A and B are shown apart, each in its own frame.
Chain A
Amino acid sequence: MQHGVAWLIAGTAGEGLEAGGETFARALAALGYRPTTQRDFPSRIRGGDTTFTVRLTPEGHLCPPERIDLALAFNATVLPRVDARMGKGALILLDDGVGPFVSTNGATVEPFPFTALATAAGLAKAKNMVALGASAALLGVALDALLASVGDQFASKGAKVVEQNRAALKAGHAEALSRFGQSPKFSAPKPGTAPALFLSGNEAAALGALAAGCRVAAAYPITPASDILEYMTPRLMALGGTALQMEDELAAANVLAGAGFAGTKALTATSGPGLSLMTEALGFAGSAETPLVVVDCQRPGPSTGMPTKHGQEDLWHLIHGGHGEHVRIVLSPTDVADAFHATSEAFRLSEQWRCPTFVALDQQMSLFKQTAAPFDVAAAAKRHAPRGPSPAVVGSSSWDQTYTPYGDPGAHPQRIALPGEPGGRFYSNSTEHAASGFTNEQPHLRVAMVDRRLARMAAIPASVDRPVTLEGPADAPIALVSWGSTVEACREAAIRLAANGVKAKVVAVRLLWPFPRTEFLAAIGSARLLVVEANAFAQLARLVKSEAPVHDRLTSVLQYDGLTMASDRILDAVGGMA
């Protein structure tokens, strides 16, 4: 029942399959379903096999289905990969000329004239629309919403193209009804009625940044982060901000340091390889106390790794990366809606604590889509108290000792003077410095400066909105502990466990660093811990063990094959607990 129904379209990249899948998912969302999507695509522009999955479950948690129920395939090479995810009762429809193919897993395989019906409708490439029509019939989804959605999608291409696509859609629908009967072959969970957004975490994060007053973005292209800058560029222009594609990530991170020093809220979006290059500049921001926000859309490494696959391998880099010891904040939103909130919040924290702040996304959350209740953008912006007046008196400067930019007590940083303000001239300095900002290596001043950083680290968790979340019964004997989008699989697993009579709670670490020890210990109570994450070195589990005395009650659930985690893996792990 939690599985819902899973639908997949497969073929050669560049055939419009993803666009068709997106249209389908968006239309389903409009009907009140809770679709989630999943893309599996190669690191090349055209060609190569691609699959696009749409899953419908009652709760709409962003995690993959364990198996596919209905697959529509447009080439032969992709079939073994598709078949591997199917089983008895599943159906594969093959386009004309593809096959014959025999499922090794007991799925039914049938030919279906996708291309022929599209050609008859006047547009051969509308075979994806034939596929959507057939799918609507097989899943029992109303055709009207799809027809409207197609109208929206192709409106800019003219009435003729809209009509051809609609004709293809109807033809696929009618053909499927005549072949498979009037009653749907697969039953989707009942749709709800709430008006919903349907978007990716990258899109949500970008909106969160804009709501927080971010007006400078600088980045270098990298999968799966590139569309954040693409999304923000035209919108920043309208808002009088600036978006820059820089020559490399070194430059992007340094633009942020300059922009943060000058008093703007600035963002970059990158992935592991880019984060490695940015690390030196982020250390600068840590030492010079410059606010900036980095969205890390993780992918598997090391080095180039697997650019278009999923992984959560940057945790240690995010919390420890770089030389020396400095203040930083690492947030980990747990679903698409949370990517909006956490990114907005990152700017508030970065400015309050005068330090680089990270938002850890992962491929699943960055690129895959999910429904979300409409964001309250105004409320998010209101969480940012207006910046107070300059702390510096007019005409003051650190040179004549009338302003001390680094003189505040660490646990309560005051805002720093900005260039352009009439006082508080100083120079922002990442060489170890005294309160004045001037380079100073005297032992007692060095100790004071480091103690100030330590005081900040200790005070940060209490200032963060929901550093740890606890969902489910507090007294549950099992806690599924996770971070990032893997929390979604834990949520789904908890629902399935409850249906089996097993009580489990979900503990999400939203603030990875400074680690919220108090809040974490309160959330886990005395439960046994399953720490669930998409890496091989158990990065969160080791972090937890370094902060909490839970060594004898912690088990890791790890996945590092480049795929996203299904709740089944967690159920298996719970089943395996003695």
Chain B
Amino acid sequence: MESPSPTPSPSAKLTFKEFKGKDPIWCPGCGDFGVLTAMQKAAANLGLDPNTTVLATGIGCSGNITAYFRTFGIHGIHGRVLPLATGVKVANPALTVIAAGGDGDGFGIGLGHFLHASRRNVDLTYIVMDNQVYGLTKGQTSPTTPMEMSTKASPLGPLAAPLNPLALALSAGATFVAQAFSGNMAQLVAILEAAVKHQGFAFVNVQSPCVTYNLVNTYDFFRANTKDIAAAGHDASDWDAAMRVANDRANVPVGILYQATRPTLHDMAHPLPADAGVPSAVQAAADPAKALAHSKKRFDGWLDEFRAR
């Protein structure tokens, strides 16, 4: 059994409908519909092969998206989507890996992994559907909930200042940081395409309104307060400018804040070429005897290190 084909381009491009999976069970009007549609359109526009694409997800309303996006998928546990997706990518670097989850999943229980995946620059796209609230558990505050926002489940509000995911990603070393609004389809699709094409860790924070539990950050709020940073002349190669944009409290900045090139995890973990013709990790797992035969001299040498002398 040979390893999966490393060529992600199928003979014929699929349409976005062919990336459609089950019908979502999100509330009518949920911002996540926009994210799902944008992902399907971006996948079609990029010509992704659904057989070499993996969508890894966390837990929450957003995490259910694995059932709705017809590629290979892995629906992990709460907060751990980034190490899960990292495992998929290091196992088979030929795969296109997209991770997705919500703000509670990524910035609450999973915050540590967000920072470490950023600094590791693992080559995958991380889409957060940020609605500033825990929806599936019915309305508790999240790490991005504004201090003045109370919910039925959290009448006192968050009792903590909101995190700034964009600034966090920038400071942790992410090489692609963007924000979008799920109500602006054309821009979201363009940003997702750029994120998937990016070599390295690409973080896209999508403002994705919860129509049931967040009555503050509504579609109308975002339509009134988003600011297109590209139109405003932002230079995405300027980290300091990106940091200023991330800290713009007067607006909700949308667009690509920052994009840079830095060695990816794969580059850093493989500074030297592996032995010539060595079986891939998947091939080695599929046929250990063949893999061993290929590297017999290595193994003989390693055994010899333990030979008593």
A contacts, CB < 8 Å to B:
26-27, 29-30, 148-149, 152, 195-199, 203, 207, 210-216, 218, 235, 237-244, 246-248, 250-266, 280-281, 283-284, 288, 347, 351, 371, 374-375, 377-378, 381-382, 384, 386-390, 397, 399, 418-423, 425-431, 438-439
Q: Which of B88, B116, B269, B306 contacts A262 (CB 8 A)?
A: B88
Q: Of residues A239, A421, A431, which shows the largest number of chain B Cβ atoms within 10 Å of its Cβ?
A: A239
Given the known inter-chain contacts A240-B274, A387-B1, please indicate yes or no for A399 contacting B91, CB distance below 8 A.
Answer: no
- A29 to B5, Cβ gap below 8 A? no
Interfacial chain B residues near A371, Cβ < 8 Å: 308
- A148 to B299, Cβ gap below 8 A? no
- B249 on the interface (CB 8 Å rule)? no
- A430 to B77, Cβ gap below 8 A? yes
- A265 to B284, Cβ gap below 8 A? yes
Given the known inter-chain contacts A387-B286, A399-B70, please indicate yes or no for A425 contacting B274, CB distance below 8 A.
Answer: no
Chain A, Cβ-Cβ closest to B288: A213
List the 5 closest pairs (A to B, CB-CB), nearest first: A420-B4, A258-B87, A427-B73, A213-B288, A29-B308
- Chain B min CB distance to A574 (Å): 34
- A399 to B21, Cβ gap below 8 A? yes
- B275 to A239, Cβ gap below 8 A? yes
Q: Which of B1, B87, B281, B303 contacts A377 (CB 8 A)?
A: B303
Chain B, Cβ-Cβ closest to A433: B75
- A425 to B72, Cβ gap below 8 A? yes
- B279 on the interface (CB 8 Å rule)? yes
Residue-wise interface mask of B (259-282) relative to A, using a CB-CB cutoff of 8 A (1 in contact, 0 not): 000000010011110110011111
- A378 to B292, Cβ gap below 8 A? yes
- B88 to A258, Cβ gap below 8 A? yes
- A242 to B299, Cβ gap below 8 A? no
Q: Of residues B5, B71, B292, B296, which shows the largest number of chain A Cβ atoms within 10 Å of its Cβ?
A: B292
Interfacial chain B residues near A351, Cβ < 8 Å: 285
Complex: A195 Cα to B22 Cα, angstroms: 62
- B72 to A375, Cβ gap below 8 A? no
Interfacial chain A residues near B293, Cβ < 8 Å: 378
- A263 to B306, Cβ gap below 8 A? no
- Chain A min CB distance to B120 (Å): 8
Across chains A and B, the number of contacting residue pairs, with CB separation under 8 Å, is: 264
Q: Which of A216, A265, A397 contacts B87 (CB 8 A)?
A: A216
- B95 to A377, Cβ gap below 8 A? no
Interfacial chain B residues near A250, Cβ < 8 Å: 80, 83, 113
- Chain A min CB distance to B171 (Å): 16
Complex: A336 Cα to B37 Cα, angstroms: 55
- A262 to B95, Cβ gap below 8 A? yes
Q: Which of B66, B77, B270, B292 contacts A381 (CB 8 A)?
A: B292
B contacts, CB < 8 Å to A:
1, 3-5, 21-22, 50-56, 66-67, 70-77, 80, 82-92, 94-95, 112-113, 116, 266, 269-272, 274-275, 278-282, 284-293, 295-296, 298-299, 302-303, 306-309
Interface contacts beyond A241-B284, A258-B83: sample of 13 additional A-B pairs, CB < 8 Å, sorted by A: A197-B303, A199-B306, A215-B280, A235-B298, A242-B270, A255-B86, A258-B87, A259-B90, A284-B77, A378-B293, A381-B292, A386-B286, A420-B51
- A242 to B269, Cβ gap below 8 A? yes
* 8 A-B pairs (CB sep. < 8 Å): A198-B307, A207-B302, A215-B280, A218-B83, A242-B269, A251-B86, A257-B84, A260-B91
- A152 to B285, Cβ gap below 8 A? no
Complex: A132 Cα to B62 Cα, angstroms: 65
- Chain A min CB distance to B86 (Å): 6
Complex: A439 Cα to B308 Cα, angstroms: 55
Interfacial chain A residues near B21, Cβ < 8 Å: 399
Given the known inter-chain contacts A213-B287, A251-B83, please indicate yes or no for A261 contacting B299, CB distance below 8 A.
Answer: no
